[in-house]
Amino acid sequence: MKEPVNHTSVSISSGVQSIVYQVRYSNRARRWRISVTAEKIEIVLPEGSHLRPDKLIKEYADWIIEKQTKLQKHKARIKKRSLPEGQILFQGKPVTIDVKSAGIFEKPQVIACQGSIRVITGRGSSTKQLHKWLVNQAEAALFHQVRIRAKQMGVKPSGMAIRSQRTRWGSCSTRGTLSFNWRLIMAPPEVLDYVVVHELAHMTEHNHSKAFWALVGKYCPDYQEYRNWLKQNQAAMWPDLFEN
């Protein structure tokens, strides 16, 4: 497979603006496609294709520029909603991360205080230590809520897992296995509860039909408010601290 080739300063018919893009040849691709994100533009061509990338760029220039501009503006709006450096959300409230090296008679641990989370660290990474603690907190909170809500809703999950999904807060498999994003511990308890109800409802209604939302509303009347909270605070739940 050929390595991506960078192209710069490509002239387009709509103006002076240039487009920076990459070309990737793939033996899995059946046809060409243009991928646009806020950061980059990529043309994927089938291995051995004789299509000229520059012609494709010029032909779809207006669409490419419009789409990338929208994505960049959206990303900028999301970024504005992020918390200041050194803060994260915990159960819906901003808290400051206070890192301290363990003394001679201290052991590495994480302690939740009012308005802050203290990380007493040893030789390891304080970020990994904090991440592990948050995952454990999420697991305990979610297991507790699933037990309560499953009994109320008359369903029996076959299992549960805590994951780090990039695009989902939770999921329910056809076998009744529940998966939840550990970042839900950053949300208020009532928002975490809504996600639990949402996934348990899928054990009865396997789609997002009117019947499904009626079932969710029966056990969580304010679910729309909680859905909006997740949308509005998504950036704060993905702090740069845990990106690597």
Q: pTM for this one?
A: 0.67
Topology of domain 87-242, per CATH?
A: Zincin-like (3.30.2010)
Would you place residue 72 in the very low, low, confident or very high pLDDT band (cuts 50, 70, 90)? Answer: confident
Instruction: Name the residue ranges covered by the structural domains of the chain.
Output: 5-80, 87-242
Mean pLDDT for 3-31 is: 68
* Six token digits for residue 36: 């646009």
- pLDDT tens digits, residue range 46-59? 999 999 988 898 88
Query: If phi over 0 gives left and psi between -120 and 50 gives alpha, with beta otherwise, what is residue 206?
Result: alpha
Identify the three-state secondary structure at position 19: strand
SS3 of the chain: helix, strand, coil, percent, to 5? 40, 25, 30
Beta bridge partners of 180: 162, 170
Neighbours of 208 (CB within 10 A): 12
- pLDDT tens digits, residue range 128-137? 999 999 999 9
| Site of tokens 């990459």 | 22
